[in-house]
Amino acid sequence: GDSVTQMEGPVTLSEEAFLTINCTYTATGYPSLFWYVQYPGEGLQLLLKATKADDKGSNKGFEATYRKETTSFHLEKGSVQVSDSAVYFCALRLSGAGSYQLTFGKGTKLSVIP
């Protein structure tokens, strides 16, 4: 079945450091890929998405590129801020009719220290 694997956290970085959170997936066809962020005490917010191979999603300085050959969708940011401290979830939605549910990874907690 389909699945998403994220790097285990927690990840602790100093402010202005480079961030990479790895995400790989298993799925048939060409799923749509998403990153969600969950700030403390809040619901999940859609951060970015990509729907086909080589697409790059970007938002708020975060980027992720859909790599079909490596089945990956790694999240990157060039310079993190304390306000980026949150839990990040990678998710996929299978392609094809009738497939609307999201399959999530376990999440990666990021802590950014001043």
Partner 1 sequence: DTGVSQNPRHKITKRGQNVTFRCDPISEHNRLYWYRQTLGQGPEFLTYFQNEAQLEKSRLLSDRFSAERPKGSFSTLEIQRTEQGDSAMYLCASSLDLYPYEQYFGPGTRLTVT
Least distance from partner 1 to the Cβ atom of residue 39, Å: 11
CA distances from 12 to 41, 71, 77, 81 (A): 19, 26, 14, 12
Contact residues toward partner 1 (CB under 8 A) are 4, 32, 34, 36, 42-46, 49, 51, 89, 91, 93, 98, 100-107
Least distance from partner 1 to the Cβ atom of residue 103, Å: 7
Eight-state DSSP code of residue 67? B
Nearer to partner 1, 11 or 44 (CB): 44
Separation between Cα atoms, residue 6 and residue 104, nearest integer Å: 9
Least distance from partner 1 to the Cβ atom of residue 15, Å: 26
Q: Pull the structure tokens for residue 90.
A: 């990678």
CA distances from 36 to 9, 46, 76, 107 (A): 16, 5, 13, 9
Nearer to partner 1, 13 or 102 (CB): 102
Least distance from partner 1 to the Cβ atom of residue 17, Å: 24
- Token look-up 């220290």 returns 113
Nearer to partner 1, 32 or 80 (CB): 32
Nearer to partner 1, 107 or 110 (CB): 107
